[in-house]
Amino acid sequence: MDYLVGIDLGTSNVKTIIISEEGEVVAISKKEYEIDVPAIGYAEQDPEVWWYKTKECIAEMITKSEISKDSIIGIGITGQMHGTVPLDRYLKPIRKAVIWIDRRSQSQCIEFYNILGKDWVIDILGNPIMPGFMGPTLLWLKENEAESFRKIYKVSLPKDYIGYKLTGEITTDFSDASATLLFDNRRRKWSEHILTELNIEADILPDVYESVDIRGEITWRASEETGLPKDIPVITGGGDSPVGAIGAGVIDNKVLSSNIGTGGQILLLTDECKIDRKLRVHSFIHVVPGKWYLQGATLSAGLSLRWFRNEFGHLERTLADLLNVDPYDLIVKEAEKVEPGSKGLVFLPYLIGERSPYMDPDAKGVFFGLTIEHSRAHFIRAIMEGVVFALRDCLEVFRELGVSVEKVIARGGGSRSRLWRQIQADIYGLPVLKSSIDEDAAFGAALLAGVGVGLYPDIYRACKEIIKLNEEIKPNKERQIIYEQLFQKIYRHLYPLLKSLY
């Protein structure tokens, strides 16, 4: 039997997966790493740590699987988007990578708009200019670390650094390139106009391929370091948002992907490039050839609950260690005791600023409506509800753009909680399903590898034939009314009223 490998370079960990040609998960491995914060608003990671942890993952996964390594026929890669890995002429990292949640380039974003003009940004880029994306980050490096900038020979996106370490080739795909703010998405090429205006050399940017194209093969050095056989094809892959969506079975333009991971995203496949002229959501190229996707993103989704766990969940963490369970399971059990709406306690999950639909790096988190009646459990449930309200805020923009949604597939760590899936059903007012695959981004990368090596005819067939969906959770009409009132009468008014105070 033939096997496929998927690698997902996430924000807090790297995951690797082996699946059979029928889609059976044979082995999974995960290794965590930290985000470095050298100053307030900064977020960096060491690419060599990524590679070291990826090698550990691969070795552990192969051992767990007990399969013959020679039966692996393809490898796919996905990972966190937007980040910047500057490399010297020896293709060594010049400095740590600046990742997507970094906010240091706020003034460069303003400069971007001033240089290019907002109308041009809308018409050509079709996306808001935000910190943490490659374009503003390169501008920041140029203005603040001139010596490092002068050393840049090539610049890579995060997942593509792992691709380079495996194959020796610096390339990227259309989905990741389209999310750099340096790419002409309609013409599907690096924008000469942007690069000229920002005085950035086109030669430092990687060549761009379809996500199912083969970027190269495992080199002898990578074989020695990982234990993978030499010459296995490595597929170009794609950004974790669209790859995770296909890994969860979201391949229909009326099915919404709702991902609650560290950050949160809703994503909808589209047949054409749909641009929000108010620049509240993103429009990027999909990993499915010829398709696009709309995306709304909230920065602190699962991160909000993780913040609560770290700062106020010491008892649950200790008890979880004793019982050998996940501390989140214990925390969520508290929220289950609380009625929908958390007695009017509303949470804005803007702990590190916010992206869609406000695009405001200065936004702050808020608990609103606190009274003496509220308990710790109300805070937990309000966090879970607030994250979904933030995603619903993005969904309203999608609807303004003329799309219709019939159901939702829940993804990410939040999808493991039945309560969080029910909250999504009630706040979205749509049925919510979940894939049987938890690690959907790594799984989606493996499926792309299968298409790339010819095991599956195309991405659609791979998804339809292999991915199974679990129980459908339908919205509860009474809870839906409660949430609709909270969303329309309170949640949507809070940011506009508080903006001047941020």
Query: Does one domain contain both 180 and 308?
Result: no
Query: Does one domain contain both 162 and 265?
Result: no
DSSP string, 88-128: -TTS-BSSPEE-TT--TTHHHHHHHHHHH-HHHIIIII-S-
Question: Does some domain include residue 457?
Answer: no
The total number of structural domains in the chain stands at 2
Query: Does one domain contain both 238 and 367?
Result: no
pLDDT tens, residue by residue, 76-90:
999 999 999 999 999
Per the CB < 8 A criterion, the answer to whether 245 and 258 are in contact is no
Question: Does some domain include residue 120?
Answer: yes
Active site residues: 240
Mean of pLDDT values over 267-290 = 93
pLDDT tens, residue by residue, 430-472:
999 998 888 899 999 999 999 999 999 999 999 988 988 888 9
pLDDT greater than 80 at residue 320: no
Question: Does some domain include residue 249?
Answer: no
Residue 270 makes CB contacts below 8 A (sequence gap 6+) with: 253, 283, 291, 292, 293, 294, 403
Beta bridge partners of 284: 293
pLDDT at residue 278, as a whole number = 93
Query: Does one domain contain both 355 and 404?
Result: yes
pLDDT tens, residue by residue, 151-179:
999 999 999 999 999 999 999 999 999 99
Query: Does one domain contain both 381 and 236?
Result: no
Question: Does some domain include residue 187?
Answer: yes
Domain residue limits at 369: 255-434+472-502
Average pLDDT, the chain: 94
- Tokens read off for 353: 């600023």
Query: Does one domain contain both 127 and 154?
Result: yes
Question: Does some domain include residue 455?
Answer: no
pLDDT tens, residue by residue, 358-386:
999 899 999 999 999 999 999 999 999 99
pLDDT at residue 337, as a whole number = 93
pLDDT at residue 319, as a whole number = 84
Beta bridge partners of 235: 214
**Structure confidence at residue 262 as a pLDDT band (50, 70, 90):** confident
Question: Does some domain include residue 275?
Answer: yes
DSSP string, 187-234: TTEE-HHHHHHHT--GGGSPEEE-TTSEEEE--HHHHHHH-PPTT-EE
Q: Which of 242, 277, 311 is the last residue of a domain?
A: 242
pLDDT greater than 90 at residue 402: yes
Nearest to 426 by CA among 463, 472, 477: 477
Q: Which of 242, 265, 288 is the last residue of a domain?
A: 242
Question: Does some domain include residue 450?
Answer: no
Residue 213's CATH number: 3.30.420.40
φ, ψ for residue 79 (rounded to 5)? 170, 175
pLDDT tens, residue by residue, 34-74:
999 999 889 999 999 999 999 999 999 999 998 999 999 99
Query: Does one domain contain both 227 and 277?
Result: no
pLDDT greater than 90 at residue 126: no
Question: Does some domain include residue 332?
Answer: yes
Name residue 67's amino acid.
Answer: I
Query: Does one domain contain both 86 and 211?
Result: yes
pLDDT tens, residue by residue, 328-337:
888 889 999 9
pLDDT at residue 414, as a whole number = 87
pLDDT at residue 327, as a whole number = 85
pTM metric for this prediction: 0.91
Query: Does one domain contain both 234 and 271?
Result: no
**Angular region, 429: left φ>0, alpha ψ -120 to 50, beta rest:** left
Query: Does one domain contain both 170 and 215?
Result: yes
pLDDT at residue 412, as a whole number = 85
Query: Does one domain contain both 271 and 167?
Result: no
φ, ψ for residue 80 (rounded to 5)? -55, 140
- Tokens read off for 114: 């001033």
pLDDT at residue 326, as a whole number = 84
pLDDT tens, residue by residue, 472-489:
999 999 999 999 999 999
Q: Which of 182, 213, 242 is the last residue of a domain?
A: 242
pLDDT at residue 12, as a whole number = 86
Query: Does one domain contain both 270 and 152?
Result: no
